[in-house]
Amino acid sequence: MVPKKTKSKLRIIPLGGLGEIGKNMTVFEYEEDIFVVDCGLAFPEDEMLGIDLVIPDITYLVKNSQKVRGIVLTHGHEDHIGGLPYILQELNVPLYGTKLTLGLVENKLREHNLLRSTERINVSPGETIALGKHFKVEFIRSNHSIADAVMLAIGTPMGVLIHSGDFKVDYTPISGATLDLHRLAELGRKKSFSFNGR
């Protein structure tokens, strides 16, 4: 994908997880397309009496709900998926994730009676999805303290972004599959970009 000249802006808006621990959620927006990476929760600080959980403020997304193409999940930790049952009640959009991540999400959705009403799309590392007209997202195999974690290569009209998610470089992971350093190196080398399998 060669970046095109345009006056439109690519917006990256952290709704949580930046400068704090927990409730990771990042919005990507270009023209009429928005997608979201992760939807976590945080646990309350000592002074937040009577509060059980803290979730990101999604007012901006609810206001722009007709633009939101989906939520892409990097892995199944609470600070990345724990907000979903609450947020999906206000914003019913498809979820994209790997098998284990979606499995953990499904348990939560079942508890909150949201399983049937939520579209879930299983994506394997190496696969690319299209989100609206402007975004493509390739899942890249990663390693973390939970299995089936991915990094994301995000194709936008302004160029390619890498969202690393949480990761560690582990040459002997329990699952056997190591972080796809080769693909990351390839993405770093290329000036113009083509997604896996396209």
Stretch that binds Zn ion, among 37-45, 61-69, 74-82, 91-99 (CB under 5 A): 74-82
Find out whether 23 and 56 touch, Cβ atoms under 8 Å.
yes
CB of 36 to Zn ion, least distance (A): 17
- Is residue 166 part of the contact set for Zn ion (CB under 5 A)? yes
Comparing C-alpha atoms, which of 104, 108, 163, 154 is closest to residue 131?
Answer: 154
Q: Is 141 in the site for Zn ion (CB under 5 A)?
A: no
Site string for Zn ion, 18-47 (x = CB under 5 A): ------------------------------
Q: What are the Cα distances from residue 178, in Å, to 174, 185, 187, 193? A: 9, 14, 17, 23
Q: Two tokens at 121?
A: 């799309």
Q: Which stretch binds Zn ion (CB under 5 A): 60-68, 73-81, 132-140, 185-193?
A: 73-81
Minimum distance between the CB of residue 103 and Zn ion, rounded to whole angstroms?
16
Would you count residue 180 as binding Zn ion (CB under 5 A)? no
Question: Binding to Zn ion by residue 77, rule CB under 5 A?
Answer: yes
H-helix segments, the chain: 59-63, 78-81, 84-87, 99-111, 181-189
Cβ-contact 26, 36 below 8 angstroms? yes
Footprint on this chain of Zn ion (rule: CB under 5 A): 77, 166
